[in-house]
Amino acid sequence: MAEPRMSAPFLLVATPKLRDPNFQRAVVLVLSHDAEGSYGLVLNRPLARTLADVVTGGDERVTKVPLHEGGPVQGEVLQILGEEGGVEVVPGVGALPAAGDLAGLLLQLPVASQARAYLGYAGWGADQLASELEEGAWILAEPHREHVFDVPPERLWSRVLWELGGSYRWLSLQGGDPDDN
């Protein structure tokens, strides 16, 4: 099977053909993609918790960082995306290291800086994502800072599809599979 020509980062937008409940209407920011597999974070699965619920220490910034379900793999793994700091993965979005003193890392961010925390991640083995793309389970899109920080999670799926235009706009409004017509 030929590997699609993709380099991280990119967005995966779930199509109605993807029946896995972990990914229904999911938007995944893929941070790593190579011959060994792919790793990403589901951007639109907020939890009714903040980072303060899972780490100790820090100041009020820790209580303001929303916590999301990053994916179904290793739910104890914590990853933070911030406006500043870390390794830039998208212009205006940096991935902070997942190990060490997370509360201390957040203290290094400017007070006005936004951040999101993710428990777990989405992962694919070698060729698994390519197979899912060929089956039509995902749509590829370009990630932007506002997808991480500005668009409300419940509207992200339709927003990204709308931005893609064409028949994807229909999908963003209807949510159904055009092949079902």
SS3 69: strand
pLDDT band of residue 101 (cuts 50, 70, 90) is: low
pLDDT band of residue 115 (cuts 50, 70, 90) is: confident
Report the C-alpha gap between 9 and 87 in whole angstroms. Answer: 12
Report the C-alpha gap between 17 and 99 in whole angstroms. Answer: 36
For CA atoms 179, 41, 162, 152, give the dihedral sign. positive
Tell me, what's the pLDDT at 59?
65
Report the C-alpha gap between 86 and 90 in whole angstroms. Answer: 11
Distance of CA 128 to the CA centre of its chain: 18
pLDDT band of residue 181 (cuts 50, 70, 90) is: very low
Tell me, what's the pLDDT at 97?
67
pLDDT band of residue 93 (cuts 50, 70, 90) is: very high
Determine contact, residues 90/144, Cβ cutoff 8 Å. yes
What's the mean pLDDT when you consider all of the chain? 84
SS3 21: helix
pLDDT band of residue 2 (cuts 50, 70, 90) is: very low
Does an H or E element contain 32, and which?
Answer: strand 27-34
Question: pTM (2 decimals)?
Answer: 0.87
| Cα dihedral 56/60/64/65 (nearest 10) | -40
pLDDT at 41 over 70: yes
Tell me, what's the pLDDT at 106?
63
Tell me, what's the pLDDT at 65?
85
pLDDT at 179 over 60: no
Of 61 and 87, the one with more pLDDT: 87
Tell me, what's the pLDDT at 178?
47
- What does the longest C-alpha to C-alpha distance in the chain come to? 54
CATH class of 10-176: alpha beta
At 113, list the tokens. Answer: 């800086």
CB neighbours (10 Å) of residue 144?
17
Would you list the DSSP string of 35-46? TTEEEEEESS-E
**pLDDT tens-digit readout, 126-155:** 889 999 999 999 999 999 999 999 999 999
pLDDT at 100 over 60: no
